[in-house]
Amino acid sequence: MPVSRRARIAACAAAAFAASICLALGAGIALAGQLHASDRAKLRYVAAVGEKVYETGQASGTLPGDMRVHMVFSSTFSGSFTIDTPVGEISGRGRARPHGEGVIESFKGTLVVTGGSGRYSHAHGSAGLYGTFNRNNYSLTIKTAGTLHY
């Protein structure tokens, strides 16, 4: 029994539509739970209490937003962070080893995402942590690259 041209076109359109839905759902599932992120933040000194320094600034890159950091600068830099994005908050902690001497000191280490809110309420992951610390004005430039699961 011959199939009409209209039926063949309708069948092709339905198949293409079904395939595009499957691809979109598959991509959504793959992307909804994991994100390869690379970000940069320039932070400025706000206050200090004892050894703990509080800094704020803007993060840009994969996860842009307002960033807050509490850091302790000693033989090892350590601290906690929060990034407020338009769709939720991401928080965690990091540790880095400083390199060099002088006013501008570079550092390298790791950070761990420990939680969040909104879209990132189940956030976890890890990333490399790199940057510079200015000992004159306590400003930080931070770069991160890693994987976020949410």
Span 89-114, mean pLDDT? 95
Give the global pTM: 0.75
**Percent share of the chain, pLDDT over 70:** 79
Span 13-30, mean pLDDT? 36
What is the signed CA dihedral for 116, 118, 123, 129, rounded to 10 degrees?
-60
Span 15-21, mean pLDDT? 37
Residue 56 in tokens: 């704020």
19 three-class SS: helix
Residue 67 has pLDDT above 70, yes or no: yes
What pLDDT is recorded for position 32?
54
Q: Band of the pLDDT at 14, cuts 50, 70, 90?
A: very low
**Range among 6-10, 30-34, 126-130 rated most confident:** 126-130
Q: How would DSSP label each residue in 71-131?
A: EEESSSEEEEEEEEETTEEEEEEEEEEEE--SSEEEEEEEEEEEEESGGGTT-EEEEEEEE
N- to C-terminal Cα separation, the chain: 53
Q: Band of the pLDDT at 87, cuts 50, 70, 90?
A: very high
Q: What is the average pLDDT score of the chain?
A: 83
Span 18-27, mean pLDDT? 35
Element (H, E) at 8: helix 5-32
* Ramachandran class of 27: left when φ > 0, alpha when ψ lies in -120 to 50, beta otherwise: alpha
pLDDT in tens, 23-65: 333 333 334 589 999 999 999 999 999 889 999 999 999 999 9
